[in-house]
Amino acid sequence: MEQHGLLVIDKPAGLTSHDVVQRVRRALRMRRVGHTGTLDPIATGVLVLCVGKAARLQRFLMTRDKEYRARVRLGFATETHDAMGKPTTPVRDTSSITEADIERVLAEFRGEQEQIPPMYSAKKKGGIRLYELARRGQSVERSPIRVRIEDLELVEEDGVKIRRFEDGTAEFTMRVRCSAGTYVRTLAHDIGQRLGCGAHLHGLVRTAVGEFTLSRALSLEAFEALAREGRAAEALIPLSEALPEMPALQLSELDVRRVLHGHAIPGRGFRHRTYVRLLDAWGRLVAVGESEPERGVIQPRVVLEP
């Protein structure tokens, strides 16, 4: 029997997001599984998967803010902006860089800004993915993207804020809360440029996607074990809880039938355009609608049932 809901996995290092999707598909013996935002192979942490009918909600989930705990290595930059790439600058001594210097630079990156995607990314130029061009030794002009860094904070790890190494490099950990589409490894690279010493991302944990936090995540192995026991449904977040930031409206039986046929229903309680969860009498998510105050209706945009 096909399952439906959201699955929050703690992605292990070394796997791509697609690798995780494939393993969950095999565990559930179903094809309709997709993720809501890529994590690089070196990264770990929250990966939200849409299972079954939840795939129809993917576009709403893709736009959620993300939160990360990122380790940044100071001293040299790399071609990929992370520890997987070759150094592109010589190692520079970082002994003169202080906590105050880092705090000052982090403050400069808070707020809305334009970020240039790295060459080693899945963005396309002329129909070709940038990482394919980069592997051929090509570098092309990339259009900047608008991102928002909501919070950026230097945090302690093992009781210290800066860890220094014998080769003159140093490392610090930062907590990042940002808009969807932000490249944290490019943020690390840009911080290194601003400090004048070069930097790259040395480790990354995604701690939250919207309200879905690491504390709610299952390891991939734990989920696969549940699936083998026929208990996979225990790990799935119901569709009715998938979009808690949206207002909810419980429908009459007549309005449920209207929505299932794509027809608008009365909705005069909304003064602005907004998405609304449309629930049946049992609290099940029937559809996501959009209020149209000028018409006094809610128009179904994504229908989940039957």
Report how far apart the first and last C-alpha atoms of the chain are (Å, whole number). 15
Q: What are the b/e assignments for 259-295, b being 16+ CB within 10 Å?
A: bbeeebbebeebeeeebbbbbbeeeebbbbbbbeeee
What does the alpha-carbon distance between residue 257 and residue 63 come to, in Å, rounded to a whole number?
Answer: 29
Q: Catalytic site residue 40?
A: yes
Q: Is 53 left (phi over 0), alpha (psi -120 to 50) or beta?
A: alpha
Tell the residue number behind the tokens 């598909």, with chain if given: 25
What does the alpha-carbon distance between residue 34 and residue 48 come to, in Å, rounded to a whole number?
Answer: 9
List the catalytic residue out of 10, 40, 255, 280: 40
Tell me if 257 sits within 8 A of 270, measured CB to CB. no
CA distances from 263 to 55, 89, 177, 271, 292 (A): 22, 60, 38, 20, 13
The DSSP H or E segment spanning 153 is strand 145-155
Catalytic center residues = 40
